[in-house]
Amino acid sequence: MSMVKKYIKETLLVLLGVFYLSPIYIMLVNSFKDRSQLYENVLALPEQFTLEYYQAAFQKMNFLSAFKNSLYITVVSIIFVVILASMTAWMLARTDNKLSRIIFMTFIATMLIPFQTIMMPLMQEMSWITRNIGIPMTNTHGGLIYMNIGFHSSMAVFLYHGFVKSIPRSLEEAATIDGASKWGVFWRIIFPLLKPTTVTVAILDVISIWNDYLLPSLTLKSKDLRTIPLSTFYFFGEFTIQWNQAMAGLVMTIIPVVIFYMFAQKYIIKGIAEGAVK
């Protein structure tokens, strides 16, 4: 390949990437423009840099509280999914009997159930529990986290199960002979070995829990409990749309995602590829 041809190809590839992200550019430049500038030319660079619209959007979206809520729900849900699913998957993979196989197959089969099929009965059940048993499952972060664990555990069990099968049993048997309990064997020997899968599970669940709108919208009713997607939705619904503020708000919601992407890019791409292939 001649040098010139190669440079042209390289440039075209980068241009493709830039063009692909042009909506982000449009969002960014218009978050600084006033009304007349915005309607004059949406594609032009802003004439001045002002954080005015960011401040307005920050307050209207209650951004800080939404960010904290999203972070709390995502982190706690994932910790539970990782702990519970890895324990379950290890036990299921290491127990050769009918019960264990039935449980595993049930986890896999239910992955076919779309959320819309169970959302209504789930909400009924959760408000029934709240009313009759007294555990506050609706309109609480705890309830939402509980449901997140339920929805994300089957995929996690599935991924861990596959990985456990590739770990030789001899490792555990040696430790058992040395007198370690199952608990000790799992946490000291197996769990550290499962790290690649733990990363995959965590990445996949961060993306889906952080961005989830429908489940939180059904469970969380109080304003101060809202997550980022929820507060974005209400921000667009409650106020007549002022596009500069709206764009500023959207830029803010994307910043955490971009930071996460910059730091974990390698793992994200690996996690996506693995999560899909299995």
Partner 1 sequence: MSKTRERLWFALFTVPTILIFITVVIIPFINGIVLAFFEWDGIAANPKIFVGLENFVKLWSDQRFLSSAFITIKFTVLAVISVNVLGLIFALLCTSALKMKNLARTMIFMPNLIGGLILGYIWQFIFTDAFAILGELTGFDQVFFNWLLDKDYALYAIIFVFTWQMAGYMMIVYIAGIQSIPDELMEAAKIDGANYWQRLRHIVLPLLMPAITICLFLTLSFAFKQYDVNLSLTGGGPVRATEMFAMHIYNEIFRYNNYGYGQAKAIIFFIIIAAISLTQVYLTKKREVEM
**Which residues 224-263 are close enough to bind partner 1 by CB under 8 A?**
229, 232-233, 236, 243, 246-247, 250, 253-254, 257-258, 260-261
Measuring CA to CA, how many Å separate 90 from each of 16, 106, 107?
44, 16, 14
In angstroms, give the least distance from the CB of 256 to partner 1. 10
Q: What is the DSSP letter of 181?
A: -
Buried b (16+ CB within 10 A) or exposed e, 202-221: bbbbbbebbebeebbebbbe
Whose tokens are 């307050």? That residue is 59
Is 14 a binding residue for partner 1 by CB under 8 A? The answer is: yes
| Stretch 176-195 residues interacting with partner 1 (CB under 8 A) | 182-183, 186
C-beta of residue 160 within 8 angstroms of C-beta of residue 201:
yes
Q: 92 — phi, psi (to 5°)?
A: -65, -40
C-beta of residue 204 within 8 angstroms of C-beta of residue 276:
no
Q: Is 139 strand, coil or helix? A: coil
The stretch near partner 1 (CB under 8 A) out of 50-58, 60-68, 162-170, 266-274 is 266-274
Nearer to partner 1 among residue 185 and residue 225 (C-beta): 185
Residue from the set 50, 62, 211, 242 that interacts with partner 1 by CB under 8 A: 211
In angstroms, give the least distance from the CB of 36 to partner 1. 13
The stretch near partner 1 (CB under 8 A) out of 53-61, 163-171, 193-201, 265-273 is 265-273
Count of positions on this chain that bind partner 1 (CB under 8 A): 84
| Stretch 75-94 residues interacting with partner 1 (CB under 8 A) | 84-85, 87-88, 90-92
C-beta of residue 121 within 8 angstroms of C-beta of residue 147:
no
The stretch near partner 1 (CB under 8 A) out of 61-69, 141-149, 166-174, 191-199 is 141-149
Is 164 a binding residue for partner 1 by CB under 8 A? The answer is: no
Is 16 a binding residue for partner 1 by CB under 8 A? The answer is: yes
| Stretch 48-77 residues interacting with partner 1 (CB under 8 A) | none
- Other C-beta atoms within 10 Å of 3: how many? 7
